[in-house]
Amino acid sequence: MTSTYNELVKIDKTNRGLANISERSSWDQETMMPSGAANQRSEETAALQEVLHERRINPRIGELLEKAVAENIKEKAKLKIIKREYERYKLIPTDLATEIARVTSEANWIWVEARSEDNFSKFAPILKEVVNLKRQEAAALSNDGELYNALLSSYEWDLKSNDLEIKFNAMRKRLVSLRNKISGSSVPQVKLNFEFDEGKQMKVANLIAKKFQFDFHKGRIDKSVHPFSSGSGSDVRITTRTNVGDPFNCFYSTIHEIGHAMYEQNISEEYFLTALGNGVSLGIHESQSRIYENQIGRSKGFTSWLFNVMRQEFGDFGISDEDQFYRLVNRVSQSFIRTEADEVNYNLHIMLRFDLEKSIISGELEVDDLEEAWNQRFYQDFNVKVKKSSNGVLQDVHWSYGEFGYFPTYTLGNIYAGCLYEELRKSERNLDSELAIGNTASATQWLKNNVQVHGSLYEPEELIEKTCGKSPTEEPLLNYLEAKYKDLYNL
């Protein structure tokens, strides 16, 4: 290792330490911060972001990058990522980065209030500011004038809106067709009508986390308005939420976030506080959260374990056996909330957001018209009318943080998860019987070895190719869904 390389890595390490603190400060804002501290917090957040941005565009990084020599594949990957990030950050003026931090910190808090009051017009003014700032950021980043692509690239390097559209259109066709068949099915829907103590829900959520190998010495679980995962290495924190009538909201949000958390906890320790020390992209991140949540968590095997755990904890809750329970967990219905959506409808929720946020960023759609546009589109896609904002445009946290371009990575994650699951099943022949006794070890170990441990060493598609022996497509996901629901609904 050259001294140039060492100096560069040292500067980078400090910046990543700061970024961790910044991320934990967001965690605090959503879990611990007193309600009256929002204004102060937005100033503090801005201060930290100003400093972090200045350090990220430190010209010394540019000088060192020109001279630094990588001596192996890991060093090469680190240099590539440091360079990519440096060149990206350099395009964003510090004042703009600071202002985005300040305004989104405040916007997040206003969103919490507006959501609890079901009042979009309370959120709209600050969302306008956020959109305006993110458009400025996109313009600064954009080479080709495609603002939305510039935003996408901060979550998934090289991802293009046009390619997503093609994929999404292909998926939509088969998903809608599947949904139509299901609604024509004569198999009766299983329904839940029971009150589930919220303290006990959290107890089960903690047990589930343990079953999925979450290391509580290196993380914690709390509650928040919107579930999320935060942190890396030895300090990874997830949140969930509870709803007395619907324990699956809590359990499957938990499993989803545990998927994210395991990715971060399982990254090779040697990558700690380096450019390889986080998940490589949001697409791959969501592949982990979604495969934990769906292919594993909603499988026949795992749900039979969960059924018995719930029977022990809550007593008879009106579901007679494992089979009925499996049908309940995988019931296809037109729900309002993305995070609670079944696997068939889920990607349609994403496509709605994708189209709306593209229009917002391009300027075709005004923030003031966003709620109406949401509700119209929702009716068109799901055939139900949104009656309150918290069931509609205010349900997700992302836009309050200015995270335009984040949503499509969920569907990308589903696509990657489809590929990984196809391969996992080939490799782990006893998967179903293991899951049925709550043993996720062979699945999680396989994901750890093939995906998680590598951190950012491989590019997203490269990682999937390496693991699955072919380029990722939506085929495995759609095949998996069609087979699963054919069985469930006797199609």
| Residues 420, 291, 297: CA angle, nearest 5 degrees | 135
Cβ atoms of 239 and 29 within 8 Å: the answer is no
Query: Residue 113 CB, nearest distance to a second copy (Å)?
Result: 13
- Is 356 within 8 Å of 374 (Cβ atoms)? yes
Residue 459 annotated among the catalytic residues of the structure:
no
Report the alpha-carbon distance of residue 26 to residue 218 in Å, rounded. 18
Smaller CB distance to a second copy: residue 38 or 114?
A: 38
The secondary structure of residue 474, as a DSSP letter, is: S
**DSSP label at residue 454:** G
**Across the strands, what pairs with 222?**
239
- Residue among 33 and 309 whose Cβ is closer to a second copy: 33
Contacts 24+ apart (CB under 8 A), 215-224: 215/265, 218/265, 219/261, 219/265, 221/254, 222/31, 222/32, 223/31, 224/30, 224/31
Evaluate whether 163 touches 153 at the Cβ level (below 8 Å). Answer: no
Nearer to a second copy among residue 36 and residue 59 (C-beta)? 36
Question: Whole-number minimum distance, CB 279 to a second copy, in Å?
Answer: 17
CB 186 within 8 A of CB 233: no
Distance in angstroms (rounded) separating the CA atoms of residues 182 and 168 = 20
**Distance in Å, CB of 35 to a second copy, minimum:** 5
- Distance between CA atoms of 354 and 76, rounded to whole angstroms? 34
d(CA 8, CA 82): 9
Work out how close the CB of 33 gets to a second copy at its nearest, in angstroms, rounded to a whole number: 7
Distance, CA of 134 to CA of 34 (rounded, Å): 28
Q: How far is the CB of 235 from a second copy (least distance, A)?
A: 4
Which residues, 6 or more positions from 3, have their beta carbon under 8 angstroms from its beta carbon? none
Q: Are 20 and 48 in contact (CB under 8 A)?
A: no
Q: Among all chains, which residue has been given the structure tokens 């037109």?
A: 334
Task: Identify whether the C-beta of residue 263 lies closer than 8 Å to the C-beta of residue 298.
Answer: no
Query: In the complex with a second copy, which residue's Cβ is closer, 21 or 69?
Result: 21
CB of 271 to a second copy, least distance (A): 12
Q: In Å, how far are 68, 220, 353, 423, 454 from 8, measured between CA atoms?
A: 8, 32, 39, 38, 21
3-class SS of residue 220: strand
At 250, list the tokens: 């809590």
Nearer to a second copy, 36 or 145 (CB): 36
Distance CA 328, CA 323 (A): 9
Three-state secondary-structure class, residue 221: strand
Contact 252, 292 (CB under 8 A): no
Cα 311 from Cα 92, distance rounded (Å):
54
Nearer to a second copy, 138 or 273 (CB): 273
Kindly tell me which of 50 and 422 has the beta carbon lying closer to a second copy.
50
The site for a second copy (CB under 8 A) is made up of 13-18, 20-21, 24-25, 28, 32-37, 39-41, 43-44, 46-48, 50-51, 55, 215-220, 233-235, 272-273
| Among 257, 357, 371, 403, the one annotated catalytic | 257
Nearer CB in complex with a second copy: 171/236: 236
| Cβ atoms < 10 Å from Cβ of 158 | 12
Residue (25 or 375) nearer to a second copy, CB: 25
Catalytic residue numbers read 257
